Amino acid sequence: MCTARNPLHCIVPPYMVERMTESPNKKVRSLALENIAASAEARAARATLALAPMLMASASPKGTKDRLIYDAKKRWNLPGKLVRAEGDPKTGDPAADEAYNYSGYTYDFYHKLFGRNSLDDKGMSLRSTVHYRTTYNNAFWNGSQMAYGDGDGIIFRRFTRSLDVVGHELTHGVVTFTANLEYHDEPGALNEHFSDVFGVSIRQWRKKQTAKQASWLIGEEILVPAPTRRAIRDMANPGKAYENDPDLGSDPQPAHIDDKYTGTADNGGVHINSGIPNHAFYVTATEIGGHAWEKAGRIWYNTLVEHLTPTSDFAKCARDTFLEAGNLYGLNSREQKAVKKGWAEVGITV
Amino acid sequence: MKVRYEQSGGWGNPLGKTCELDTEQLDHQDAETLKKLVEQSQVGRSMEARSPHARDAINYEITIEEGEQRFQVRMDDTTLPEKMMPLIDFLQSRAKPRALK
């Protein structure tokens, strides 16, 4: 008789467990996913995952929005215990409910504006784990799911508080399944850039703000307020998000290609040099006017999906956004000129 | 024993934090704590394990020198074993933010 807490931790062949991840029954899916995470085969799968994250993308049963929120209970195991599935009522846990709501808004943004069915455009389930580790000052995308820490309460608050942070992280999934920009140097900075662009755009879309009305700060809500810090990044003013902060130091983002970071930290500055294309997008969007997601966002989305490759650099992104603006709105259109101006402001000529 | 710690990436300052500790220069209690944490973390050889598909994970690099031996461990949030976390916590508490030169 099987006495394991999770009956799938008994002798159930892996092929059956994998099939069960597609079950229409939420409980069955959850148990199957826990099994995969816990089993010895998962350790081998993680090695494979390093090569092919798409293997772990589980399709939603109905091929539409499917959110699965897990609680790691301050431990290290992913995904943790399923606490809210698609259509379930609120849990009362702010972190779990924020992850549910904000991943839903992110799905809706991509679906309604760009016709995209989830991160992989095939209805991939959106898995988020909250309460990951103890006082964990970070959040990340691991190739197949999100993990959010609660922060230490000194520098950071829980990471699900910010819609732009959730949108940023899930957009890493979109990038993975489209251009798949390599995570180092300029391609990696573009990877971070697109996540910032759409993280901010999702927030502005929800608030119905124009580009000129809106805030261009990233991660404002996840910081414990202090006079020395306004946000994690500032697309309008790269390098000014925080200054002489005793815990964070000073914001190292450049706003111009001449000041590009050339060191080795942060995979060649992927979170540092993203300030350059971030500012180009901000200038483009405010120059065009109206809502950033409508024209600038569409130019950038089409560029990501149709033009960029894993090794694309800033110059290619600039050329492709310029060409795409011409494709969408005409040669020498106001929109195309705005893209040219945006890149010129950061020292990149198209 | 000398231990050099560097972290970068993630949602904090991407330049990260760094510190360099020498047990011969720490007070006795800290020196013993550091030695014990290194032993408990079971760092016995150089290793590099960073996921090519993680995004916004913090990168960790720990270099340990003792006598003739030198080990360097390079990991990220998705590959870091839980047994190393007490050592990371100790080092993080003594690390300072890095500045652009």
CB contact (8 A) between residue A138 and residue B57: yes
pLDDT at A49 over 70: no
Pair (A152, A215) in one structural domain: no
In a domain, A26, yes or no: no
Pick from B11, B52, B78: CB nearest A139: B11
Instruction: Give the pLDDT confidence score for residue A262 in this predicted structure.
Output: 97
pLDDT at A143 over 80: yes
Residue B53, CB-side half-sphere exposure with 13 Å CA sphere? 21
Once rounded to an integer, what is the mean pLDDT over residues A25-30?
64
Which chain B residues are closer than 8 Å to A141 by Cβ? 54-56
User: Is A169 one of the catalytic residues?
Assistant: yes
Which chain A residues are closer than 8 Å to B18 by Cβ? none
Pair (A129, A93) in one structural domain: yes
Instruction: Give the pLDDT confidence score for residue B42 in this predicted structure.
Output: 86
Partner B contacted by A252 (CB < 8 A)? yes
- Reported as a single tens digit per residue, the pLDDT across A63-117 is 899 999 999 999 998 999 999 999 999 999 999 999 999 999 999 999 999 999 9
CB contact (8 A) between residue B97 and residue A248: yes
**Of A169, A192, A221, A335, which residue is the catalytic one?**
A169
What is the percentage of chain A residues whose pLDDT exceeds 90?
81
Contacts of A284 (CB under 8 A, 6+ apart): A296, A299, A321, A338, A339, A341, A342
pLDDT at A62 over 90: no
In a domain, A19, yes or no: no
Place of tokens 């991939």: A124
Instruction: Give chain A's domain count.
Output: 2
Find, in chain B, the residue whose alpha carbon is nearest to that of A145: B54
Partner B contacted by A77 (CB < 8 A)? no
Residue A238, CB-side half-sphere exposure with 13 Å CA sphere? 27
In a domain, A35, yes or no: no
- Hey, of A138, A148, A224, which one would you mutate to test binding to chain B, going by the most B CBs within 10 A of its CB? A138
- Hey, of A271, A276, A278, which one would you mutate to test binding to chain B, going by the most B CBs within 10 A of its CB? A271
Mean of all residue pLDDT scores within chain A: 90
Partner B contacted by A12 (CB < 8 A)? no
Which chain A residues are closer than 8 Å to B59 by Cβ? 266-267
Q: Which CATH number belongs to the domain containing residue A68 in this structure? A: 3.10.170.10
Partner B contacted by A215 (CB < 8 A)? no
Instruction: Give the pLDDT confidence score for residue A43 in this predicted structure.
Output: 47
Once rounded to an integer, what is the mean pLDDT over residues B90-97?
94
Instruction: Give the pLDDT confidence score for residue A36 in this predicted structure.
Output: 56
- Tokens encoding A219: 């991660």
CA-to-CA distance for A250 and A228, rounded, in angstroms? 9
- Reported as a single tens digit per residue, the pLDDT across A258-305 is 999 999 999 999 999 999 999 999 999 999 999 999 999 999 999 999
pLDDT at B34 over 80: yes
Pair (A153, A217) in one structural domain: no
Mean of all residue pLDDT scores within chain B: 93
Q: Which CATH number belongs to the domain containing residue A216 in this structure? A: 1.10.390.10
Which chain A residues are closer than 8 Å to B84 by Cβ? none
Find, in chain B, the residue whose alpha carbon is nearest to that of A259: B100
Once rounded to an integer, what is the mean pLDDT over residues A30-57?
51
Instruction: Give the pLDDT confidence score for residue A40 in this predicted structure.
Output: 45
Residue A35 binned pLDDT confidence (cut-offs 50, 70, 90): low
Pair (A205, A304) in one structural domain: yes
Which chain B residues are closer than 8 Å to A265 by Cβ? 6, 8-9, 14-16, 98
Distance from CA of B94 to the nearest CA of A (A): 11
pLDDT at A25 over 50: yes
In a domain, A228, yes or no: yes
In a domain, A130, yes or no: yes
- Measured at the CA of B41, the angle between CA B36 and CA B43, to 5 degrees, comes to 105
Instruction: Give the pLDDT confidence score for residue B45 in this predicted structure.
Output: 84
pLDDT at A8 over 70: no
Would you say A218 and A275 are in contact if contact means Cβ atoms under 8 Å apart? no
CA-to-CA distance for A126 and A118, rounded, in angstroms? 8
Pair (A205, A288) in one structural domain: yes
Pick from B55, B98, B100: CB nearest A140: B55
Pick from B10, B12, B53: CB nearest A143: B53
Which chain B residues are closer than 8 Å to A137 by Cβ? 10-12
Structure letter (DSSP) for residue A233: E
Pair (A341, A282) in one structural domain: yes
Looking at per-residue pLDDT, the higher value among A12 and A343 belongs to: A343
Pair (A108, A236) in one structural domain: no
Distance from CA of A155 to the nearest CA of B (A): 9
User: A337 phi and psi, to 5 degrees?
Assistant: -65, -35
- Hey, of B17, B48, B53, B80, which one would you mutate to test binding to chain A, going by the most A CBs within 10 A of its CB? B53
- Tokens encoding A285: 């969007």
CA-to-CA distance for A296 and A211, rounded, in angstroms? 10
In a domain, A337, yes or no: yes
A47-51, A282-286, B4-8: range with lowest mean pLDDT = A47-51
Pick from B16, B55, B59: CB nearest A141: B55
Instruction: Give the pLDDT confidence score for residue A309 in this predicted structure.
Output: 98
Residue A148 bridge partners (DSSP): A139
pLDDT at A21 over 90: no
- Reported as a single tens digit per residue, the pLDDT across B51-87 is 999 999 999 999 999 999 999 999 999 999 989 999 9
Residue A26 binned pLDDT confidence (cut-offs 50, 70, 90): low
In a domain, A55, yes or no: no
Which stretches of chain B sit within 8 Å of chain A by CB?
6, 8-16, 51-59, 77-78, 82, 97-100
CA-to-CA distance for A211 and A323, rounded, in angstroms? 22
pLDDT at A28 over 70: no
Indicate whether this complex's ipTM tops 0.95.
Answer: no
Domain parsing of chain B, residue ranges: 2-97
User: Is A18 one of the catalytic residues?
Assistant: no
Using only C-alpha atoms, chain A has a radius of gyration, in whole angstroms, of 21
In a domain, A17, yes or no: no
- Pure H helices in chain A: 14-20, 26-38, 40-49, 94-114, 163-176, 185-207, 265-269, 275-288, 296-306, 314-329, 334-345
Residue B47: its H or E element: strand B47-49
Pair (A126, A208) in one structural domain: no
pLDDT at A169 over 70: yes
Domain of residue A69, residue span: 60-161
Residue A14 binned pLDDT confidence (cut-offs 50, 70, 90): low
